[in-house]
Chain A
């Protein structure tokens, strides 16, 4: 996965590349919620079962924004890539999800 020119991987190293230095921990965080209309539809959808697309979209938006913020921090610190990338999610309030994207920013040879 790459946002702009930032290589982001879940492994601890990048095959074919050598890590020159470790820049440090980088992370991106966001908390988003659905508007009340989508919330009502999601509640009704949970009564009939199946995928709650409103919350699928919510988590997807959070995910992409958190990745972008993490990549921006890595870029600002002069890193070439992020290794050991992980997500953490939680519900902070009813209908609001927090996503944290984090990893280790590194410089490549």
Chain B
């Protein structure tokens, strides 16, 4: 708590920062504390529209529609990507080398995207700013 309040100095601060590197759970706890601190100082009074926003977050039609929309979009994108790879693989007008290169590029981008997403998901618990609304 002292570290989160900026009240740790010198050797004690250095020792705590070393512990943060070695203990991810401690770092996540600190991030939660910092997030509370940040939200508390930036909390704005509720506006009339906020009540409707909060109601919509629990509205069944809204949640079902959004969920279904995302599932359809993601499924369609993945299937289209698969279809593109399949079409390239079967396209006799392209040389084998071109087909291999194009498919490699698609899988390469997919792998890069996957690793970037993995990085983001790993770092997300330690980002205290995601709870800020406005």
A interface list, Cβ under 8 A from B: 1-6, 32, 35, 37, 40, 51, 53, 56-57, 60-61, 63-65, 68, 75
Contacts and interface: CB of A to CB of B under 8 A. Distances in A.
A65 B5 contact: no
A61 B53 contact: no
Given A60-B133, A61-B129, A75 B38 contact: no
B42 A64 contact: yes
Interface string B20-45: 00000000000000000010011000
B41 A61 contact: no
A53 B53 contact: yes
Contacts of B49: 51
Given A53-B53, A60-B42, A64-B38, A4 B132 contact: no
Interface string B104-134: 0000000000000000100000000110111
Contacts of A6: 6
Contacts of A1: 41
Given A1-B41, A37-B70, A56 B134 contact: yes
A5 B9 CA distance: 13
A36 B38 CA distance: 25
A68 B7 CA distance: 15
Contact of A4 (B6, B70, B130): B6
Contacts of A60: 42, 132-134
